[in-house]
């Protein structure tokens, strides 16, 4: 049986992590977040982790080979044998080539969101020190206002979540990711889903689209 090997792409604010979490539970496959992997490695304090921590602290981008080796190690773990959904990786065409040397996605979900809406969502974003993400309107913490549901740590707004900084990141995102999406489109892997509606509606639409893929639809029915 074909295993779902899903990559989810889209600008910040499109809800990639949230939708990936839903799909992970629905298909019972691990949700592999590149950002979470890096933070976990940095916390572990291994030589690799220390290198990653220095890069993150300086606000630099983690080099492709390092990023790819972290993802690769995660995909080797046992739970990833039955499939996976990766979010935050690959980010550009060269990285996708590296990715192809150790794993090949069979579905690429592209969440589409206008820049204007992305800015609106991101300025309302709050994060905890462990990287859990909330939104003051669309996704507030459930247990205690201003505190993370997972670890109880206080939420804050990231310094670089100002409209100017967000627009700069969005420009960079388009430069990097649009050619990557084109490449995946040429390989017939892309499923595009409009990310403007509320989270649950986006998820319903996403499932509808995935059901159109025969081998995936049989997995969805089996549940």
Query: How far is Cα 16 from Cα 166, in angstroms, rounded to an integer?
Result: 17
- Report which of 70, 65, 89, 72 is spatially closest to residue 9, judged by C-alpha positions: 89
Could you say which of 5, 125, 126, 219 is catalytic? 125
Torsion angles phi and psi, residue 154, rounded to 5: -70, 145
| Residue closer to Zn ion (CB basis): 118 or 148 | 148
User: Tokens 């100002």 label which residue?
Assistant: 162
| Residue closer to Zn ion (CB basis): 111 or 128 | 128
Could you say which of 158, 171, 185, 200 is catalytic? 158
Could you say which of 5, 16, 39, 74 is catalytic? 16
Query: How far is Cα 116 from Cα 49, in angstroms, rounded to an integer?
Result: 36
132 binds Zn ion (CB under 5 A): yes
155 binds Zn ion (CB under 5 A): no
Query: How far is Cα 223 from Cα 219, in angstroms, rounded to an integer?
Result: 7
Q: Is 169 annotated as catalytic?
A: yes
- # binding residues, Zn ion (CB under 5 A): 6
CB of residue 126 to Zn ion, shortest distance in Å: 10
151 binds Zn ion (CB under 5 A): yes
Q: Is 39 annotated as catalytic?
A: no
- Report which of 8, 204, 194, 182 is spatially closest to residue 89, judged by C-alpha positions: 8
150 binds Zn ion (CB under 5 A): yes
CB of residue 161 to Zn ion, shortest distance in Å: 17
List, in order, residues 6 or more apart from 106 with CB less than 8 Å away: 2, 4, 5, 6, 189
| Residue closer to Zn ion (CB basis): 143 or 188 | 143
Among 109, 128, 170, 180, binds Zn ion (CB under 5 A): 128
CB of residue 6 to Zn ion, shortest distance in Å: 25
Q: Is 16 annotated as catalytic?
A: yes
User: Tokens 């799909």 label which residue?
Assistant: 23
DSSP code for 60: P
3-state DSSP assignment of residue 154 = strand
Supply the residues annotated as catalytic.
16, 91, 125, 158, 169
- Binding residues for Zn ion, rule: CB under 5 A, are 128, 130, 132, 148, 150-151
């Amino acid at each position: 049986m074909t295993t779902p090997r899903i990559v989810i792409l889209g600008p910040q604010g499109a809800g990639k992590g949230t939708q990936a979490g839903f799909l992970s539970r629905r298909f019972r496959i691990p949700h592999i977040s590149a950002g979470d992997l890096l933070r976990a490695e940095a916390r572990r304090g291994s030589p690799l982790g220390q290198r990653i921590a220095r890069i993150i602290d300086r606000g630099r981008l983690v080099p492709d080979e390092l990023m790819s080796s972290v993802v690769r190690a995660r995909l080797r773990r046992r739970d990833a044998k039955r499939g996976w959904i990766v979010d935050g990786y690959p980010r550009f065409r060269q990285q996708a080539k590296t990715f192809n040397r150790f794993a090949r996605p069979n579905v690429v979900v592209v969440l589409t969101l206008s820049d204007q809406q992305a800015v609106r969502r991101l300025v309302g974003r709050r994060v905890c020190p462990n990287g859990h993400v909330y939104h003051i309107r669309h996704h507030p913490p459930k247990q205690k206002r201003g505190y993370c549901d997972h670890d109880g740590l206080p939420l804050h707004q990231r310094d670089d979540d100002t409209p100017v900084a967000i627009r700069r990141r969005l420009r960079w995102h388009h430069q990097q990711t649009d050619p990557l999406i084109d490449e995946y489109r040429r390989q017939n892997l892309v499923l595009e889903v409009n990310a403007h509606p509320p989270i649950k509606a986006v998820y319903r639409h996403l499932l509808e689209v995935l059901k159109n893929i025969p081998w995936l639809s049989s997995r969805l029915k089996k549940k």
